Chain A
Amino acid sequence: MENLFELLVAAFLVIAGIFGIVGSFGLIKLNDPMSRLHAPTKATTLGVGGVLLASMLHAAAFEKYFSYHELMITLFLFLTAPITANFIAKVHIHRQETRDTMPEAGGDDHWATHDTPEDEERRHASHTPPAEE
């Protein structure tokens, strides 16, 4: 049983290390900014998840206590990774793309980050509230 846990912890650690290094290697290797976004947000998050799982198993099997902190960290990281990725993609749209290079946003409008003050005025003008009787 001890051996099985040892094998599991070691396997999780090795897998986590490989995922972590692949994520960061992808960050410097890939050419396109939006493909660079994929490597760290997915591979590195999985790598940290592996380390945290290994740590939890290690604590439960060898240190004789059960720790919940790792679950909290894992949950937090898995919840926040997509949000940060979304924000970084928005920054990319804001700085690198123009209205002409982006696909249609649907409807008669365009992507929110390309809004100009004139657009805002136009929108307000077309949505004026009905005059009070």
Chain B
Amino acid sequence: MIESAATFAFACFALAMLMNLWKVVTAPDVADRILALDTMFINAIALMVLYGMALGTEIFFEAAMIIAMLGFVSTVAYARFILRGNIIE
């Protein structure tokens, strides 16, 4: 039962990531692009945790943590750059 549920979750998040990629390409404004990239990061975390669960290892949690931090910092840096033309003033 867990296998089929995990397959379903894998498919959902993979499809979600494809939608985000589509939105990154066709976004009308830079705010939408930042939002789509941030969502892509979050979906990547979910995929990574699912993969670690499927393999039964703990290694992927560290990777997921790092991706989470990178995602937050890069989103804030991008938004900050648009807002102020500078990241660290």
Contact = CB atoms under 8 A, between A and B. Distances in A.
A77 B71 CA distance: 10
Interface residues of B, number: 50
B24 to A, nearest CB: 10
A27 B35 contact: yes
Interface residues of A, number: 53
Nearest to B52: A55
B2 A58 contact: yes
Interface of B: 1-2, 4-6, 8-9, 11-13, 15-17, 19-20, 22-23, 28-32, 34-36, 38-39, 42-43, 45-46, 49-50, 52-53, 56, 58, 61-62, 64-65, 68-69, 72, 75-76, 79-80, 82-83
A interface, over-half SS: helix
A17 B11 contact: yes
